[in-house]
Amino acid sequence: MIGQELHHGESFWSFLISVDKDLAECARQRGCSCGGRLHRADYPRAPRSGLDDLPEDYRCRFSFCCDRDGCRKRLTPPSVRFLGRKVYLGAVVILISAMRQGPSPRRLREQSSLFGVDRATITRWQAFWRDHVPKTPFWRLASARLVPLIEIVTLPLSLVEAFGRTNDPYQDWVKLLRFLSPLTVSDSEMIKISR
Residues that bind Zn ion (CB under 5 A): 32, 34, 36, 66, 68, 71, 73
Q: Which is nearer to Zn ion, 65 or 80 (CB)?
A: 65
Residues 65 and 73 sit within 8 Å (Cβ to Cβ): yes
Please name which of 61, 50, 45 lies closest in space to residue 6, comparing C-alpha atoms. Answer: 50
The minimum distance between CB 61 and Zn ion, in angstroms, equals 20
CB of 68 to Zn ion, least distance (A): 5
Residue 76: CB minimum distance to Zn ion, A: 14
Closest to Zn ion by CB, 32 vs 95, is 32
Q: How far is the CB of 33 from Zn ion (least distance, A)?
A: 7
61 - beta bridge partners?
A: 43
Q: Which lies closer to Zn ion via its Cβ, residue 34 or residue 152?
A: 34
Eight-state DSSP code of residue 73: -
For Zn ion, the closer of residues 6 and 32 by Cβ is: 32
Q: For the chain, how many residues are written? A: 195
Residue 192 CA to residue 92 CA, distance in Å, equals 26
Neighbouring C-beta atoms of residue 151, cutoff 10 Å: 13
Residues forming beta bridges with residue 74, ordered by sequence position: 65
